[in-house]
Amino acid sequence: MCGIFGVLGHKDAARLTYMGLYALQHRGEESAGIFAYNGKKVTYHKGMGLVGDVFDEKAIKSLRGNIAIGHVRYSTTGSSHTSNVQPFMAAHKRGHIAIAHNGNLTNALQLRHAMEGQGSIFQSTMDSEVIVHLLAKSKKKDYKDSMVWALSQLEGAYSLVLMLDDKLIAARDPRGWRPLCLGRIEGAYVLASETCALDLINAEYVRDVEPGEIVFISKDGIKSIKPFPKQKHSLCIFEYIYFARPDSNIFGKNVYLTRRRLGQQLAREHPVDCDLVMAVPDSGNYAAVGFAEESKIPHETGIIRNHYIGRTFIQPSQSVRDFKVKVKLNPIKDVLKGKRIVIIDDSIVRGTTTRSRVKTLWEAGAKEVHMRVTCPPIKNPCFYGIDFPTKKELIASNKEIEEIGDFIGLDGLEYLSLEGMLKAMLLPKNEFCTACFSGEYPVKPPKKLTKRALEK
Amino acid sequence: MCGIFGVLGHKDAARLTYMGLYALQHRGEESAGIFAYNGKKVTYHKGMGLVGDVFDEKAIKSLRGNIAIGHVRYSTTGSSHTSNVQPFMAAHKRGHIAIAHNGNLTNALQLRHAMEGQGSIFQSTMDSEVIVHLLAKSKKKDYKDSMVWALSQLEGAYSLVLMLDDKLIAARDPRGWRPLCLGRIEGAYVLASETCALDLINAEYVRDVEPGEIVFISKDGIKSIKPFPKQKHSLCIFEYIYFARPDSNIFGKNVYLTRRRLGQQLAREHPVDCDLVMAVPDSGNYAAVGFAEESKIPHETGIIRNHYIGRTFIQPSQSVRDFKVKVKLNPIKDVLKGKRIVIIDDSIVRGTTTRSRVKTLWEAGAKEVHMRVTCPPIKNPCFYGIDFPTKKELIASNKEIEEIGDFIGLDGLEYLSLEGMLKAMLLPKNEFCTACFSGEYPVKPPKKLTKRALEK
Amino acid sequence: MCGIFGVLGHKDAARLTYMGLYALQHRGEESAGIFAYNGKKVTYHKGMGLVGDVFDEKAIKSLRGNIAIGHVRYSTTGSSHTSNVQPFMAAHKRGHIAIAHNGNLTNALQLRHAMEGQGSIFQSTMDSEVIVHLLAKSKKKDYKDSMVWALSQLEGAYSLVLMLDDKLIAARDPRGWRPLCLGRIEGAYVLASETCALDLINAEYVRDVEPGEIVFISKDGIKSIKPFPKQKHSLCIFEYIYFARPDSNIFGKNVYLTRRRLGQQLAREHPVDCDLVMAVPDSGNYAAVGFAEESKIPHETGIIRNHYIGRTFIQPSQSVRDFKVKVKLNPIKDVLKGKRIVIIDDSIVRGTTTRSRVKTLWEAGAKEVHMRVTCPPIKNPCFYGIDFPTKKELIASNKEIEEIGDFIGLDGLEYLSLEGMLKAMLLPKNEFCTACFSGEYPVKPPKKLTKRALEK
Amino acid sequence: MCGIFGVLGHKDAARLTYMGLYALQHRGEESAGIFAYNGKKVTYHKGMGLVGDVFDEKAIKSLRGNIAIGHVRYSTTGSSHTSNVQPFMAAHKRGHIAIAHNGNLTNALQLRHAMEGQGSIFQSTMDSEVIVHLLAKSKKKDYKDSMVWALSQLEGAYSLVLMLDDKLIAARDPRGWRPLCLGRIEGAYVLASETCALDLINAEYVRDVEPGEIVFISKDGIKSIKPFPKQKHSLCIFEYIYFARPDSNIFGKNVYLTRRRLGQQLAREHPVDCDLVMAVPDSGNYAAVGFAEESKIPHETGIIRNHYIGRTFIQPSQSVRDFKVKVKLNPIKDVLKGKRIVIIDDSIVRGTTTRSRVKTLWEAGAKEVHMRVTCPPIKNPCFYGIDFPTKKELIASNKEIEEIGDFIGLDGLEYLSLEGMLKAMLLPKNEFCTACFSGEYPVKPPKKLTKRALEK
């Protein structure tokens, strides 16, 4: 997953971008980058790591100009190395293009192989480089027409922010998998993956960039076009379940309140006779509020989250089992001892972490442990931007619900139904992509083509 | 404030100490240190910063032996430099003494000046060095007698863990300001400031080290003495209010449940007509649960805490006010807009941070903002280990409650009464020190004596 | 300037490359990089800084395979940023190309502009990227033919080492400005800018790669072609004067002995009546030996070089003038006091450093200070790989010899004549490029074309 | 070995001290520290590593006041850890003492054990801490008398610079093993181990602090006393042979010129029939000049020293033998091939490094290799400050000269005689300590007493 940000028309463009990326950090912890342009040249700074580690005051000061774009990136596989840090930039006949991309193209490798056959060279393994090549190859005279032509070649998911020297461009694929919103601050335009980035810099939310829309922003103002045939929308429902920040509005609706409704729906669908409701902190916090409210079961804090977790751990003593889980989340024995508990979480992916956590509840003296999950079992990989593990590692791909409950060590486990999940949304149910649950892919997955491997 | 830890009789002594300090990190973020002894020599590692930053696998491996003690330290003033990192160690006629100390002595400077007059030299400005000098100067033949003699010279607060070559010693002053507990793991003895450190390493809680008790632990077993005249206890109530981890039991009682009761008591004392109860995350989280329960007002998450806060910040753009507050805690507009809110926090010290936070609630569209605080106004400095700012900076020392509410920008502000706070405790009210609220100091504050200043 | 290295057929390919770059460090201190290939994928490591800082054991271990190439880079201007660190690599239709380049092309910008017009994108401002684009665009079926076609487009100076997946290619432009030699070690082939890199790894020197030669090395052996029309050679004479390591053989002749002969020739051309000959350490060391020998004037060490020079300096006290010069080179008063001195150096570029150094001789009590320089005045920029400052900054471009002597503060200054310098060489004088002295450029300088600026 | 520095009366005191330590870096590469005092408090900065790495601009700026002392330290054994970084500082009844010490006391452990018996505690294993304890324990009223009393307890070697709040004190033991000189700059007083530190900051050399002298410097001026009975001097001759910088004057005489005379004397004592004289760079550089001059054999540079040596090395390929030696010093084949060589070095300690170096000469094609060394065989440990290895590791303690030559692989090896070495000095021969050669210790070595071990 990734977070993208852009601003045009503000003297502190790079600094605002830095702050925006700070707010979007949860969308990508692997690397961060910012490009800026001051009318003469492009300056940039990027690196592996968190926003707060990649940038310092000196770096921000070196990024000059009133236009900037930024990117935070998360990636699962071997491609985690420096040459894949975004934004991606290249010079072409019209100047410099820098691009920040959230989503996955399903035809990126076909496009790349075709261009290599025609003599093109590639320096990264990112989809973004394909888009830049297309823009450079376009024979259209106007850059707006080039943009339309290039995007028309793409299949799959993209929310994009581009910097074309002194021009800022935003685009979202016609199905609209990934969010992208437009804001204003002190006369400047701002683009961000989520509204929490606008909040942090005190920018006003204007509207979402719509599926299929391209927005061109320059010092002469803003222009929007929708050049592509209209398609059925495929908004990613997992953004609400798991990915987005609770204080963001995504696709126009608040995430926290959605999670609260998911908890309420869950309590209606799968009631349980227990002494207390508690959350897996922090992923189940908001649904647990809804579950407790609807079920009238007392809401307790049964696990304390430790905020001092460093990024690396020393190997614990052999006599200490599950150190990594326990150092992060410690159960309160006096709350749990002898109690029948229902614990709420947003999702189960591999099941192993959940198992470790539930084990600590038993060790704390719980009498019964039930679990309720605010989405259906995740059975299928995502080809549109979410980095699930392989099908083999997805526990729900390989086990029935009861088997999963046994594996985790629960007295009872229930998932919210697909229907129930969609009911908790404030948008029509056919607006969403639910492929990871249902296996119904709105756009066919990419053919298996080998990437040329490059590794740091 | 500080956290202390010790273990004797475990092959992974240093590693367990590292894990214990990890659990006690909230008691001191400034520096960390561990000393170990393997029967031949003392090895140590210490440094400025968080436990996870100070230690790595190589450092832990270098700490050899089955006895170790550790310390995390927090300090406000100029004395924040390397030579004050604990544990403090020195060689003396009997071997090596390493000491980890939580609390403040009220007669440390008198003792030091007297010893300097007799030709002693001092390398730090820490109370701990005074204690080591006393142990070295003792003319008693037995080290246990020396310990009693040395501690009998001290006034004020001390919870201590000492390593005397292959012997481990724990001690707590007769009034018992600071907590200290004893546990067991796989035959080994463990000492820790709070029980959460025992939980993390799967050690069993045995009992608290009692006020006035000295515990001698060696390979020959454990021996306890209470050589001092019994005194009225002065347990620090602020450990419950603010300092200790909610998952710890302090002075035998759980902290989370105490904070929950404080919230209930607060709702009874100072009810308010509002649409929703919310906490300042995370300091008010547990009292807010109690307040909501007692008041029957719905409990909402109105502010989201961002977990990606780095330790240093780049100067924000001038157009972004209150960046530091907002990057940490972002209000959810859809929850707060048009609502009458009561927000719960554990305490108010200077008032400035609270003011910034409340301001973001107004900006999010709140209709009314009331605040309730789970302790009385803090008006007096602490001389027993808590690093409050000076009286001049304590807002309640200088303003009436109504003025404080105006300063913060509230429609209403109420503090829990001293009586109400004590009622929420499970121990008799005369067990506690409440000097920071009442000004009644159980032991007279130190005379003003100038420390020789030394600064890195 | 740059240093390049390559090896094929050795299990320790990357490690040998690391050692080779260590020996070539003097040719480029700004950045270093190594690429390796193990039959399946390319691995690489590169970074800003010295070889010893960029690489550690972990990095070297990550570079797998029996083929590797490496590069050290020095650059003067704004283009000193990460995206310009060599080797440069890209994927194209035939696999991966990695390229290490020493020299400057005079038609790089024309080629680039033409390719941009055809839809190509560029990610660096390096000549090397142009060469890779040409290789990718070649329509020849055989990679050897593609190589010939691509190189035939180039004008200017290039010594190249390329890795084309499992094949190693070396090439040197027909005029042969920059050195490149071939060696063998334990059955493997090695390529290096200078023989000192072969010495360090105990490789046997085989021969120089000749001007206009392309050498293809693979597991099937070595093949050499000379596909281009023969041209007059333009070996860079400044490699002997200044750039190469004294223990290297360049263009087949030893550098130290050449510098010694330059000193002898200098003594014959410009004798001086003095008490002692001394060198500017270490640049004038070897010529000073020759000068003393020929002139029969005693050779003394008048200045001591300090080997503990860090890379950054704290601002010195205002009362300490010329700290940077003095911390590096300290004159010995007891040697210099009251003496008539002739000091030998290899060249004068800006003249400012020389002035500071000469000043310290006066302060040490010298009676007379004369200087002799082992090459003619440098009046012209180099377009073939040496990073001289601009004409405005070259002191000999703007002042007569006598004026330079006055500026530096000398009793006498003489440069070796062009004729004398060439006489000290062991190769025919028409083999050399002497453009920086004479202004006669063998290949016309590039037209002024603006690079698109990109800056970190 | 160590280097010490002090300044009083200069507004840039700490900055000058930093520069002074830079010049004294060769006397100790392990750690560095500076203490300053501004009339109110002592500030300090110290750390492991080179001066240039330990200090940055921020550190220097934090060191306030017009008095400062500094120290660079080298240590062989286990005591290489943070708590032993000098200067050593402690508070005592009169204020703060900071001490920088060069030399070794022979009765330090006796003094320490006695003081521990009386109740003193020790935090380091350094001799300096013993001196501070003595100063604190002195019952004299005047600090000058205390200083005399404390120093009168000491046996062995000490050159000291002390800071007693706003007073600067220098002292040198009555035998004067280690150098110490006094200078002036802009009205301020400066103390330094060697004159090269005065040169670097443009301070004027006034005179050496004499053996047995104590110099008290304050804002009221300078006062010198010689309170101890006069003793035969024992100036360390190894300072001339090896330790001091060639541009320094030590004990009033220039080091470079002394080394040159040692080379001349060596040529007279041990002539050899060879084609060329060369040095082991840089240790034999200056003696080689003298040897060539006296012997009339041509002086050549046969080995080039590489200046890019980092501090850590990656493990070389197994096919590369002697990488560490070769990366530092590369022989020039064209100079050495077929030649009869005499190579000059200052000393041989273990013999292993010399053997590796000589091997590279054979590999470069030398016909004969002879070696001449500018001091007698080192057979005995030093108890006065030089960190020789143990007797077991000193090759001359265990082998005859001919055996050493065989071990190293030489056609001939000769050492300068004790008599010849003393003849090359400009001071009377009975002024020197030659214990490491002769085994005649001027002060009896310390008894074997175990230190309490403490390790980081």
Give the pLDDT confidence of D230-257 residue by residue, as tens digits.
Answer: 999 999 999 999 999 999 999 999 999 9
A15's enclosing H/E stretch is helix A13-23
> Percent of chain B beyond pLDDT 70?
94
User: Chain D residue closest to C57 (CA)?
Assistant: D314
Look up the pTM and report it. Answer: 0.89
Residue A374: name the closest of A303, A268, A450 by CA: A268
Distance CA D107, CA D130 (A): 10
Residues of chain A below pLDDT 70: 75-83, 309-313, 319, 321, 448-456
Please tell me which of the candidates D22, D320, D334 has its beta carbon nearest to residue C202: D320
- Contact call for residues C178 and C222 (beta carbons, < 8 A): no
B440's enclosing H/E stretch is none
From chain D, the residues in CB contact with C254 under 8 A are 332-335
Q: Does position C450 have pLDDT exceeding 50, yes or no?
A: no
Residues B4-31: what's their mean pLDDT? 95
Between chains, do C319 and D245 touch, taking CB under 8 Å as contact? no
Which residues 6+ apart lie within 8 Å of B142 measured at CB?
A: none
Min CA distance, C439 vs chain D (Å)?
Answer: 33
- Contact call for residues D72 and D25 (beta carbons, < 8 A): yes
- Are D and A neighbours with ≥3 CB pairs closer than 8 A? no
Q: Which of residues 198-237 of A touch B (CB under 8 A)?
A: 199-202
Residues of chain D below pLDDT 70: 75-83, 309-313, 319, 321-322, 448-456
Comparing D398 with C315, the larger pLDDT belongs to D398
How would DSSP label each residue in B373-414?
ESS----S--SSS-----TTT-HHHHS-HHHHHHHHT-SEEE
Count other C-beta atoms under 10 Å from residue A110's C-beta: 16
Per-residue pLDDT at B327? 81
Min CA distance, C211 vs chain D (Å)?
Answer: 24
Find chains touching chain C: ≥3 CB pairs under 8 Å. Answer: A, D
Distance CA B351, CA A84 (A): 46
| C452 interfaces chain A, CB cutoff of 8 Å | yes
pLDDT band with cut points at 50, 70 and 90 for residue C451: very low
* Averaged confidence pLDDT in chain C: 92
| Catalytically annotated residue among D2, D181, D274, D433 | D2
User: Chain B residue closest to D33 (CA)?
Assistant: B456
Any catalytic annotation for residue A181? no
Question: In the 3-class helix/strand/coil scheme, how is C225-236 assigned residue by residue?
Answer: ECCCCCCCCCEE
Residue A47: name the closest of A57, A34, A32, A58 by CA: A32
> Residue A63 to residues A24, A33, A34, C450: CA-CA distances in angstroms?
20, 11, 8, 21
From chain B, the residues in CB contact with A318 under 8 A are 12
- Cα A402 to the center of its chain, rounded Å: 30
Distance CA A288, CA C131 (A): 61
Strand pairing report for D67-73 and D88-92 = unpaired
| C23 interfaces chain D, CB cutoff of 8 Å | yes
| D440 interfaces chain B, CB cutoff of 8 Å | no
- Contact call for residues B42 and B23 (beta carbons, < 8 A): no
Contacts 24+ apart (CB under 8 A), A320-323: A320/B16, A320/B19, A320/B200, A320/B201, A320/B202, A321/B202, A322/A356, A322/A359, A322/A360, A323/B19, A323/B200
| D299 interfaces chain C, CB cutoff of 8 Å | yes
**DSSP assignment letter at A156:** B
For testing the chain A interface, which of B301, B311, B321, B356 should be mutated: the one with the most A CBs within 10 Å?
Answer: B301
Per-residue pLDDT at D453? 40
Return the structure tokens found at D218: 């304050």
> Residue C338 to residues A424, B64, C354, C408, D249: CA-CA distances in angstroms?
96, 63, 21, 20, 18
- Contact call for residues B81 and B31 (beta carbons, < 8 A): no
> Residue A423 to residues A211, A252, A440: CA-CA distances in angstroms?
22, 16, 19
| D334 interfaces chain C, CB cutoff of 8 Å | yes
Per-residue pLDDT at D449? 45
Distance CA D185, CA D10 (A): 8
Between chains, do A90 and C121 touch, taking CB under 8 Å as contact? yes
Residue C102: name the closest of C211, C184, C177 by CA: C177
- Contact call for residues C158 and C164 (beta carbons, < 8 A): no
Per-residue pLDDT at B312? 55
Residue B203: name the closest of B184, B188, B217 by CA: B184
Which residues 6+ apart lie within 8 Å of A218 measured at CB?
A: A8, A166, A167, A168
Least confident of B449-453, C12-16, D140-144: B449-453
Residues B426-430: what's their mean pLDDT? 96
Q: Does position B161 have pLDDT exceeding 50, yes or no?
A: yes
Tell the residue number behind the tokens 């030093």, with chain if given.
Answer: D382
